[in-house]
Amino acid sequence: MSFLLKAGIRLDDLTPAEAARIAYEDVILLRRELFARVIATVEDGPVVRLGDGPAQSCGAHVQAWAARMTAKHGRPHVTVHQTPELPWATALMVVMWGEAPLADDGAGGWRRVWPAEWTPSLVARALAWEDETKVPAAVTGRNLIDAGGRRLLLTADLSTPTAE
C-alpha cells in the first residue's frame, strides 16, 4: 500500500504540481480511491426508455449494464489501460472521459472532468461495448477477450495488404 494512502492523503488533497511529482505506482493507487469517490457522486440522470424496456434513469441503465457485463464475463471488473480491476461503471467513465476524473484548473486546484450525471450517451456507449460493436481500445490483449472482444479478434482481416 502507498505511504500516501497510509497517511490518509488523497490525490485531490495534493495540488496538481505536487501530484505530478509522485511515483506512478502511487498515482495508480490514489487514482483508484479517487475513482470510487467520484463515481459515488454521479447522479442518475434523465429517465430514458430502451426499446420495449421500462423507462428508468440513465444510472439505473448503467447499473443494469454492469450487472449484465459481470454475468457475461464472470467478474465484476475489467482492466482499462494499466489500471486493473475497475468496476464496470468506472471503466465506462474511464473509456469515455479518461483516467483523470479531475484536472488542473490552472489556479493550483482541481476541476471536475467526469460528468456529474449519467447520460444517454454513456448508456449508448455501454450498450455498444456490450454488443461488441465498439469494444474500447483501452481494453487490450487478454482483457479485450474478457471484456467482449472475442468476436472482433476472430473476425479481423488478417490478410496481407497488397501494394497499389
Task: State how far the Cα of 14 lies from the Cα of 116, in Å rounded to an integer.
Answer: 22
Question: Taking the complete model, does pTM exceed 0.85, yes or no?
Answer: no
Nearest to 123 by CA among 76, 75, 55, 70: 55
The span from the CA of 127 to the CA of 93, in Å, is 14
Q: Given this model, what pLDDT does residue 25 score?
A: 82
Q: For each of the chain's 164 residues, which pLDDT tens digit applies?
A: 567 767 788 888 888 888 888 888 888 888 888 999 999 999 999 999 998 988 999 999 999 999 999 999 898 999 888 788 899 999 999 999 988 899 889 998 899 999 999 999 999 999 999 998 888 888 854 444 454 544 443 433 333 333 43
